[in-house]
Chains A and B, each alone.
Chain A
Amino acid sequence: MRIYFDNTASTPIYPEVIELMTKILKENFGNPSSIHHFGRQSKVTIENARKKIAGYLNAAPSEIFFTSGGTEANNMAISGAINDLKVEHVITSPIEHHAILHTLEHYENIGKVKVHFIKLDDKGRIILESLEKLLKQFSASFVTLMHANNEISNLLPIKEVSKLCREYDAIFHSDMVQSVCHYKIDFQKIDIDMASSSGHKFHAPKGVGFIYINGKRLKINPFIIGGGQERNMRGGTENIAGIAALAKAFEISHQNMEEDEKKIRSLKSYMVKMLSETFQHVDFIGDSMDKGLYTVLSVAFPENVFDDMLLMNLDMEGIAASSGSACTSGALKGSHVINHLGINPDRQVIRFSFSKFNTFDEIDFCINVLKKLNSKS
């Protein structure tokens, strides 16, 4: 049996999306910048995708710019704020994705900006008073905070943050890579300047994403410069198959969102129940047990129950999960998020993350494997 509990790292592509992409890859190859039949066909595909996505987000199509993924979108937002809008202070949290933290670190190293970190509570939630204090101290700064944390699931009180940012005249960007297509996002209700999204977190392929830029509030320059595509905001021939796939995955996710959420929540609750029954003193990190992003369950096993080979042993038993985020899971340092929370390093932390394609049987299987591994060690 092979079980995939690593859906925060990446997701399988929806069958309907595969079908659409196969067709486009075979038939729809014109360069969207070409004015002939083949080019126009591709152009229409892209613009329809943009309209569809904008529709689901209650944004204008002109506010959606396709990128090669979430990392490029995050880089573009930060570069735009620093290089074009000339912000001098950035406010963020220590548990952002590396695409945010390392980019900011770069700009701080070259002396372009000062980075300030919001304080978190012991569950890893941002403390709004700490944000307000920083906003007061550094007016007209750039605030970048992720909507849903990929490792510990915590959700940002986005409306409150947005309100504070407006009050102190800050530019507000959110990395929404984990929340788009898992929650209904309405940009008329969430007052935000920029947001990032990535296809492969919601059953579209890797290598495609987008940045939302609030057209009423700001204008930045392209991050990748070239032939004037994306209305002069992003050079490079468009990834047509990826873009069409992104829109299709949007459609499917939104059509089934409530039902899928309900299913995933019940899978997670079942896992919580089974783990709590099986292990004494098991903890669920951040808000992942209930209030957080419903796809993620971050589990801290009790000390001395498993050794540090747990992740590998699970994999050998056919269960794919991760420790921290995928992007750091190979690194010896461990996760910067988990480290920040001060979890006892002798406790094994495993992130299980679910999709609608998981089943209760898989959870039973996983619990049995954990029992088996426990009795061995």
Chain B
Amino acid sequence: MNKPIYLDYNATTPLNSEVIGAMKPFLEEHFGNPSSTNYYGTITKNAVEKARLQVANLLGCSANEIVFTSGGTESNNYAIKGIALANKHKGNHIIISAIEHPAVIEVCKYLEKLGFSITYLAVNNAGCVNVSDVEKAITNNTILISVMHSNNEVGAIQPIQDIGFIANAKNIFFHTDAAQSLGKVPVNVKLLGVDLLSLAGHKLYAPKGIGALYIKDGVKLEKMIHGAGQENGLRAGTENVLEIVGLGKACEVALRDLDKNIIRLSQLRYKLYQGLKEILKDNILLNSDLKLSLPNTLNISFKGIIANNFIHELNNNVVASAGAACHSDTVKISHVLHAMKIPEIWAKGAVRFSVGVSTSEQEIENSIKHIVNLYILKTK
């Protein structure tokens, strides 16, 4: 059997070959503890600092504003708990969108138990937060707004810059989870006006187990992982040098290839959508506005099918997701589609296809055939 075509790049990405190349010496040769002041430690320390600059360049910030973490989830935990616990004397209200990743929603539920109050912002049918809703939700007790840069399931890009403008004017901390956006659309922390931004390596062709948090100069968090003084005293634990180097390289490549990738990814996605639409016509429904979503993400509902079952068979040939990977073994309609008020009959048939830099035109053509054939077979 041939390997299935992988159209699930929003769940995770394979490593870029340049990233593997950059990591190789740190897997095979350089193993010193960056905190050791000897020759071995100096090499790895320098590598970590180089990577920090590479990440900072992608985000448009200074290297000292980047803290490495074990991934997007830890970054979100640190940002949200860190702000909440450090500012609880100022207020207890947090605003997030209803379509955040579990790593944000679950942290807020935990904070609710500690006495914080959470407002969940609704989204429109394109999956976007309304800026006026943010404004209305703000109270004197609001200490933090957290809205993801783009949604992992439907790809909807959020009006971060506008929200940032409001948050800054009202002196409210603003965090965005940009795990899905990096390498797919431009993300510049200064333009966006965010205080905190989370990113995950494995969504941008770096390995799993590594991520970073942008903390704007001057923003104070309650520390989450205590111990020795690594990461300028902000995150204890011996640095994951190998994967930090991988993340740094991936960020460098993402910045270098961004323009090229945006065009290529959107062409591939459009080809996939057009190909399916031409044949399946009104049997498919788009779950986002293509102009307002990530160039690689296509979330469509198929009429009259249960996506989980459909995907299960489709995955032999084409790998895609029904709902987000993190909760894909449950059949209930994803919280994102629910928040978008997609009618249940359609929401049940929602499938996410996400293309990546190694996706070929041929793979898209073959995917269309597989998807259409299976759909016809299933709805006969």
Contacts and interface: CB of A to CB of B under 8 A. Distances in A.
B243 A207 contact: yes
A99 interface: yes
B155 interface: no
Interface string A199-226: 0100001111000000000000000111
B101 interface: yes
Nearest to B80: A225
A299 to B, nearest CB: 16
A235 B77 contact: yes
B32 A242 contact: no
A39 B11 contact: yes
A71 interface: yes
Interface string A72-86: 101100000000000
Contact of A198 (B74, B107, B238, B316): B238
A29 B223 CA distance: 31
A9 interface: yes
A172 B87 CA distance: 33
B39 A320 contact: yes
A36 B315 contact: yes
Given A36-B8, A237-B71, 16 more contacts: A6-B33, A68-B74, A70-B238, A106-B223, A205-B27, A207-B238, A207-B239, A207-B240, A207-B242, A228-B102, A228-B326, A235-B106, A315-B39, A320-B36, A322-B38, A326-B36
A327 B236 CA distance: 10
A70 B110 CA distance: 24
Contacts of A236: 70-74, 103
B315 A37 contact: yes
B243 A320 contact: no
A239 interface: yes
A224 B31 CA distance: 27
A225 B228 contact: no
B227 A99 contact: yes
Interface stretch (B165-173, B204-212, B256-264): B204-212
B229 A331 contact: yes
Interface stretch (B13-21, B133-141, B338-346): B13-21
Nearest to B27: A18
Contact of A207 (B12, B14, B40, B210): B210
A229 B106 CA distance: 13
A273 interface: no
B12 A312 contact: no
B81 to A, nearest CB: 8
Nearest to B228: A327
Contacts of B227: 71, 74-75, 97-100, 102-103, 327
Interface residues of A, number: 73
Interface of A: 2, 4, 6, 9-13, 18, 21-22, 25-26, 29-31, 33-39, 67-72, 74-75, 97-100, 102-103, 105-106, 198, 200, 205-208, 224-229, 235-242, 311-312, 315, 318, 320-322, 325-331
Contacts of B207: 25, 239-241
B200 interface: yes
Contact of B15 (A25, A99, A200, A205): A25
Interface of B: 3-4, 6, 8, 11-15, 20, 23-24, 27-28, 31-33, 35-41, 69-74, 76-77, 101-103, 106-107, 110, 200, 202, 207-210, 223-230, 236-243, 311-312, 315-316, 319, 321, 325-329
B228 to A, nearest CB: 3
Contact of A29 (B13, B40, B228, B236): B13
B12 A9 contact: no
Contacts of B40: 4, 6, 10, 320
A206 B242 contact: yes
Counting chain A CB atoms within 10 Å of each CB, which of B24, B71, B209, B230 scores highest?
B209
B75 to A, nearest CB: 9
Contacts of A72: 70, 225, 237
21 contacts: A25-B207, A31-B12, A37-B316, A39-B11, A71-B228, A71-B236, A75-B225, A102-B226, A103-B227, A206-B242, A207-B70, A225-B103, A226-B102, A235-B102, A237-B71, A237-B202, A238-B209, A241-B209, A315-B38, A320-B39, A327-B35
Given A6-B38, A312-B37, A237 B73 contact: yes
Contact of B41 (A29, A31, A326): A326
Closest 8 CB pairs of A and B: A207-B240, A239-B209, A327-B228, A227-B326, A99-B227, A68-B70, A71-B237, A236-B73
A237 B14 contact: no
